[in-house]
Structure 1
Amino acid sequence: MENFTMLQYFQWYYPADGSLWKKMEREAEELKTFGIDTLWLPPAHKGMDGGVSTGYDVYDHYDLGEFNQKGSVATKYGTREELLRAVKAGQAAGLQVYMDIVLNHLGGGDETETITVRKVNPENRNEFTSEPFEIEAYTKFTFPGREGKYSPFQWDFQCFTGVDYDEKTGESAIYSIQNQYGEGWQDVLDTENGNYDYLMLSDIDFRNPSVVEELKRWGEWFHETVGFDGFRLDAIKHMPATFYNEWLDHMRSVTGKELFTVGEYWSPGKLDDMLRYIDATEGRMSLFDACLQANFSNASKQGNEFDLATIFSGTLVEARPELAVTLVENHDTQPLQSLEQTVDLWFRPLAYAMILLRATGYPCIFYPDLYGAKYSDEGNDGEKHEVTLEAIPQIQTLLGLRKNNVYGTQRDYFDHPNCIGWTVDGDADRPGSGIAVIISNGDAGFKDMEMGKEFAGRVFRDRLGNIEQEVVINEDGWGTFHCNGGGVSAYTAD
């Protein structure tokens, strides 16, 4: 089976100029030639901030840039027709297209309702801090700009578990809505803050069967309209696992497609939580390896004090490689974002080698590492910051090596705190395949590693161009491979 690589085809600060879908249509063939196989697109629906919304503040799932709602027709990324053309162009070029699905909450309600709520302790959401009382909340979604096209369904307070704003008093807090489906939160696996059902805005209540049926209908409509190949699921730790079990089974049944799915269960350092979620969803979806991304960030900050031999310890790709989507950064971890957990520039080529040049995991490249990015925003310190993210020049070479060489049996040499390596011995059906990789986070290093006797006498060269010295494999199938300090080298046979 051919190695696949995913590209997150956006970043948080992508310009709000409606250009992304047109850019994708233009670049689709080039991206496939480059070694990209799948594109993860941003949320395609209208957000509560209209044409400047990233889409994670979802207002109307049915508005793909078609209706004049929230101050614009187009979304941040373009119009409905531009989206459809982009997806068709991607698929015609041989790319698979994954859509970002945001079903945890809605924002930007059209009307207020007087509803009964109880305040909760933000640090222990199971603890009520008030008796029931009334607030005015924006929990009525009538979508007047769409006028019932595609779906007549309207949302009200019976569709939500909580809100965070009282229009009557202007107070912000976490309010548990008292509706016919319960006075407390839904049953979610994550126990942070007591119960982490509530994240933001108007939190969707999946205990309401009308809501579940509407989201199934929307999913069918979305696939019929766009014809995508898979999903990235947002904020799943804040939702009952049982909902996605039912929804994914339904979507796969009605479409007759595999619909590859990766979920965002973002719990760095909490592998057990992620494994519990995998058990609860019975392997229906892959997860992003938040634990590995945290290790990359820590390693980049600690330099030679970080024990490279432990870089994969406590990670999903170590525990469940078949369900791990590996990554270096994403739109939430990038500088100035809510889950900021950056990987320093010097370490990025090393991290990308560790996800692209290994036989395990499904790697995902972040948009700025391919294209670069410049933006400014306010940080947690209240100050404005200018950010420049440089593209990684080795990305194209790494993608080519992944596509052509990373096949066969992998042997790891994680026997030194500052210098690690591995070999993948090639596949007889892929002439020229096989690779040896060596990485240092300290001084220049070398390592004796086995390629296999079938490579005896073959000359290996560093395709990343960091080491000029050739390696000749001895009669037993071994070679001595070198790398520079703080660098990575990847050797293949002539």
Structure 2
Amino acid sequence: MKKTHLLVSMLVLTIFSACRNNDENDNENLRNEEVHSKTVNVTNHDGRPFSTGSGSVSGKFVSGPGGGVLMQGFYWDVPEGGNWWNTVKGKLAAWSDSGIGAVWLPPASKAQNGAYSMGYDPTDYYDFGNFNQNGSVETRFGSRTELEGLITKAHAENMQVYADIVINHNSGGQSQANPFTGTSTWTDFSAIASGKFPRSYNDFYKNSYGNNDEGAFGGFPDLCHASPYVQDWLWGRDDSVGKYYKNVMKFDGWRFDYVKGFGPWVVNNWNSNVGGFSVGELWDSNVNTLEWWANNANSSVFDFAAYYKMDEAFDNGNLNALNDDMMWKRNPYKAVTFVANHDTDIINNKMPAYAYILTHEGYPTIFYRDYEEWLNKERLNNLIWIHNNKATGTTSILYTDNDEYIARRNGYNGNPGLVVYINNSSSWQERWVETNWSSQQIKDFTGNSTWYPTTQGDKWVKIQSPPNSYSIWSLNQ
């Protein structure tokens, strides 16, 4: 949801993230730091649904050796009028054909502001635009029938669909006398139209379980996850929110909003009882905090550490910042990388940032407006193809200075990997680098360089990168 860093406005609501809940791998990150050469050996990140194919078949997404890419299928204040589900549905075939394997949708249930809400002020978790409450039948995005049509279409394209889950707070309840506060609070959700998950003051802090949990947001009633009743309705019972979304609505995974507001055990319990991919929006640049949360939540987390380092690198002329620690270096299985989202968009020099996340480990996310409106779609599609087909294996950082960054993906299971060369300077640059390949011709798969060099017997080769751009090299095959 929209928010400021100080959370000073109730109108500002929070959201980010999308990462994956991947199978665990016991390999730890190994780092070997030198003056101009740093190797980060991290386990291969192919944790999403995997197949040995590459590209797409009849417009359907087929995971390549490097996996797939996540699309954030909305932005803040998408057009009102109930057409958004159909808008996204109409783009799914093209997204699938481009190598996008999953789409993250905004909160789908009815919120306090009805047809005007972006969904981050949830009232009735089971009203997907099929009940007349809060001033409308449809949500801002459309009807339940249209949402189900979108999900069905995505599955026909072999794409997954992730729901944005807002369970820190609620909004839109009626006023009731609250014995725990001695005042009236807006915590009466007994008359919600779906009849499912009715709530009262007993289900919000403060109550018999305590005065608060990790954090409230914007003055909204703060849902009490310590309550067995709340737990049962969120993930326990057969028609709980999580199981209903998964088994009835057919969502495949979850993006958890504002996870600073409750303990990671909440997401862990949800995942244990419901299953599916999950990623948490923990807005924190401290990689230790991100790793702690991901491990305790048994979930992926958005890599805010990488996000802020990319801003320093690409906007402030310091590519050495990419040597710093990030979540994808700690555990690529649990890192969802991104360049922008509906909440924050601070990176101006975006194309090299996308070249970075789409050639490195982690689960990369494309922001809707970057893809559909603001950036060069052909160049983004080229990077998505390179990610899905060439970005495999551990990562070795070969060279950095303020203006240049070169890294190698070391390949995996017969896939050759790649070398990415990012150049922030105003002129062409050249470097000798050590590759994965001995005595073989390579090429730049972006087409930015016309060189077709052959590597030496010792695997070294000279490559180049254009000014204020990038090149990505792999075997010419």
What TM-score bracket applies, with the shorter chain setting the length? 0.7 to 0.9
Find 2:392's aligned residue among 391, 395, 407: 407
The Cα offsets for residues 36-63 of structure 1, whole Å up to 9 and x where unpaired, read as: 0111111111111111211111111000
Find 2:233's aligned residue among 214, 217, 242: 214
Aligned to 2:431: 447
- More deviation in 483-492 or 31-40? 483-492
SS of 1:51's equivalent in the other structure is: helix
Counterparts of 1:232 and 1:415 in 2: how far apart (Å)? 34
Find 1:138's aligned residue among 186, 195, 198: 186
Find 1:50's aligned residue among 111, 114, 132: 114
Aligned to 2:365: 364
Aligned to 2:313: 299
Aligned to 1:421: 406
Counterparts of 1:144 and 1:325 in 2: how far apart (Å)? 35
The Cα offsets for residues 350-403 of structure 1, whole Å up to 9 and x where unpaired, read as: 111111112x2111111111111xxxxxxxxxxxxxxxx445551011011112
Q: Residues 314 and 353 of structure 2 are in contact (CA less than 8 Å); yes or no, is this contact kept in structure 1?
A: no
Counterparts of 1:27 and 1:415 in 2: how far apart (Å)? 38
Q: Which has the larger radius of gyration?
A: 1
The alignment status of 1:321 with 2:332, answered yes or no, reads yes
Find 2:91's aligned residue among 10, 15, 27: 27
Q: Residues 234 and 242 of structure 2 are in contact (CA less than 8 Å); yes or no, is this contact kept in structure 1?
A: yes
Q: Residues 168 and 262 of structure 2 are in contact (CA less than 8 Å); yes or no, is this contact kept in structure 1?
A: yes
Deviation at 1:209, TM superposition (A): 1.4
Deviation at 1:295, TM superposition (A): 1.4
Deviation at 1:208, TM superposition (A): 1.8
Q: Residues 328 and 366 of structure 1 are in contact (CA less than 8 Å); yes or no, is this contact kept in structure 2?
A: yes
Counterparts of 1:391 and 1:467 in 2: how far apart (Å)? 18
- More deviation in 53-62 or 476-485? 476-485
The Cα offsets for residues 426-452 of structure 1, whole Å up to 9 and x where unpaired, read as: 45645xx53221012224322212223
Counterparts of 2:375 and 2:383 in 1: how far apart (Å)? 17
Q: Match for 2:177: what amino acid?
A: T
The Cα offsets for residues 207-256 of structure 1, whole Å up to 9 and x where unpaired, read as: 2211111112222222222112111111111112222222221113xxxx
Greater strand fraction, Structure 1 or Structure 2: 1
SS of 2:449's equivalent in the other structure is: coil
**TM-score, normalised by the number of residues in structure 1:** 0.78
Aligned to 2:200: 156
Q: Match for 2:270: what amino acid?
A: W
Aligned positions, number: 407
Counterparts of 1:453 and 1:370 in 2: how far apart (Å)? 33
Q: Residues 105 and 203 of structure 1 are in contact (CA less than 8 Å); yes or no, is this contact kept in structure 2?
A: yes
Counterparts of 1:321 and 1:65 in 2: how far apart (Å)? 37
Q: Residues 268 and 299 of structure 2 are in contact (CA less than 8 Å); yes or no, is this contact kept in structure 1?
A: no
Aligned to 2:301: 287
Q: Match for 2:246: what amino acid?
A: H
Aligned to 1:464: 446
Counterparts of 1:37 and 1:89 in 2: how far apart (Å)? 13
Aligned to 1:77: 141
Output aligned runs, 1:361-400, within 5 Å: 361-372=362-373, 389-391=374-376, 393-400=378-385
Unaligned runs of 5+ in 1: 118-132, 162-176, 189-195, 253-258, 335-341, 373-388
Aligned to 2:126: 62
Task: Describe the shift of the 1:77–1:407 C-alpha distance in structure 2 as closer, same or farther (beyond 3 A).
Answer: same
Deviation at 1:406, TM superposition (A): 1.8
Aligned to 1:16: 80
Counterparts of 1:312 and 1:260 in 2: how far apart (Å)? 29
Counterparts of 1:428 and 1:233 in 2: how far apart (Å)? 33
Q: Residues 422 and 449 of structure 1 are in contact (CA less than 8 Å); yes or no, is this contact kept in structure 2?
A: no
- More deviation in 72-81 or 437-446? 437-446
Q: Residues 18 and 78 of structure 1 are in contact (CA less than 8 Å); yes or no, is this contact kept in structure 2?
A: yes
Aligned to 2:292: 276
The Cα offsets for residues 246-287 of structure 1, whole Å up to 9 and x where unpaired, read as: 2221113xxxxxx1111111112x222222223433xx1010
SS of 1:276's equivalent in the other structure is: helix
Q: Residues 20 and 78 of structure 1 are in contact (CA less than 8 Å); yes or no, is this contact kept in structure 2?
A: yes
Counterparts of 1:240 and 1:21 in 2: how far apart (Å)? 32
Aligned to 1:264: 281
Q: Residues 314 and 352 of structure 2 are in contact (CA less than 8 Å); yes or no, is this contact kept in structure 1?
A: no
Deviation at 1:321, TM superposition (A): 1.9
Aligned to 1:243: 266
Task: Describe the shift of the 1:351–1:73 C-alpha distance in structure 2 as closer, same or farther (beyond 3 A).
Answer: same
Q: Residues 199 and 238 of structure 1 are in contact (CA less than 8 Å); yes or no, is this contact kept in structure 2?
A: no
Task: Describe the shift of the 1:423–1:207 C-alpha distance in structure 2 as closer, same or farther (beyond 3 A).
Answer: closer
Unaligned runs of 5+ in 2: 1-49, 51-64
Q: Residues 262 and 325 of structure 1 are in contact (CA less than 8 Å); yes or no, is this contact kept in structure 2?
A: yes
Counterparts of 1:32 and 1:201 in 2: how far apart (Å)? 38
SS of 2:154's equivalent in the other structure is: helix
Task: Describe the shift of the 1:158–1:27 C-alpha distance in structure 2 as closer, same or farther (beyond 3 A).
Answer: same
Task: Describe the shift of the 1:112–1:312 C-alpha distance in structure 2 as closer, same or farther (beyond 3 A).
Answer: farther
The alignment status of 1:486 with 2:441, answered yes or no, reads no
Q: Match for 1:140: what amino acid?
A: D
Q: Residues 349 and 392 of structure 1 are in contact (CA less than 8 Å); yes or no, is this contact kept in structure 2?
A: no
Task: Describe the shift of the 1:245–1:493 C-alpha distance in structure 2 as closer, same or farther (beyond 3 A).
Answer: closer
Deviation at 1:409, TM superposition (A): 4.9
Find 1:353's aligned residue among 345, 352, 355: 355
Deviation at 1:299, TM superposition (A): 2.7
The alignment status of 1:435 with 2:418, answered yes or no, reads yes
Deviation at 1:199, TM superposition (A): 4.8
Q: Residues 263 and 288 of structure 1 are in contact (CA less than 8 Å); yes or no, is this contact kept in structure 2?
A: yes
Counterparts of 2:294 and 2:304 in 1: how far apart (Å)? 14
Counterparts of 1:244 and 1:313 in 2: how far apart (Å)? 28
SS of 1:26's equivalent in the other structure is: helix
Deviation at 1:70, TM superposition (A): 1.1
Q: Residues 398 and 407 of structure 2 are in contact (CA less than 8 Å); yes or no, is this contact kept in structure 1?
A: yes
Q: Residues 289 and 324 of structure 1 are in contact (CA less than 8 Å); yes or no, is this contact kept in structure 2?
A: yes
Counterparts of 2:400 and 2:421 in 1: how far apart (Å)? 12
The alignment status of 1:181 with 2:209, answered yes or no, reads yes
Q: Residues 124 and 192 of structure 2 are in contact (CA less than 8 Å); yes or no, is this contact kept in structure 1?
A: no
Output aligned runs, 1:68-107, within 5 Å: 68-107=132-171
**TM-score, normalised by the number of residues in structure 2:** 0.80
Counterparts of 1:218 and 1:137 in 2: how far apart (Å)? 24
